Amino acid sequence: MNLENYFPVLLFILVGIGVGLVPMTLGKILGPNKPDTEKISPYECGFDAFEDARMKFDVRYYLVAILFILFDLETAFLFPWGVALSEIGWAGYISMFIFLLEFVIGFAYIWKKGALNWE
């Protein structure tokens, strides 16, 4: 194995790093740097920040986000099924019916458990 074959890869990596670092370095060196209390103060819509930016979110927020992704994926499965329904026949129809039945049972379960209630 010849190391000369890896030269284009090394050159590509070096150019990529250079494209990322050279503009940042030039901006740091050539750009004006006159910090004062106004410029370095926290700013949020014209007001001082109300709370710490690292505050914890409620677990229900993540639960709703995961449920949204789940429903979105169901839609992604339904569209190609609907397009190819004439080609897949009854086997495809029955398999999608089972999929939707499982999905509706899961939806009823999370609804009954109160996972969709946002207080």
Q: Is residue 19 part of a domain?
A: no
Instruction: Please state, in angstroms and rounded to a whole number, the distance separating the CA atoms of residues 53 and 37.
Output: 20
Query: What is the distance, to the nearest Å, from the Cα of residue 75 to the centroid of all Cα atoms in its chain?
Result: 18
- Per-residue pLDDT, 7: 92
Which parts of the chain register pLDDT below 70? 1, 42-53, 119
Question: How many independent structural domains does the chain possess?
Answer: 1
Percentage of residues of the chain with pLDDT beyond 70: 87
Span 99-119, pLDDT tens digits: 889 888 988 998 898 877 776
- Per-residue pLDDT, 61: 79
Instruction: Please state, in angstroms and rounded to a whole number, the distance separating the CA atoms of residues 14 and 6.
Output: 12
CB atoms within 10 A of CB 68: 10
Q: Is residue 15 part of a domain?
A: no
Q: Is residue 77 part of a domain?
A: yes
- Per-residue pLDDT, 24: 95
Q: Which domain holds residue 89?
A: 59-113
Q: Is residue 25 part of a domain?
A: no
- Dihedral pair phi/psi, residue 12, rounded to 5°: -60, -45
Q: Is residue 42 part of a domain?
A: no
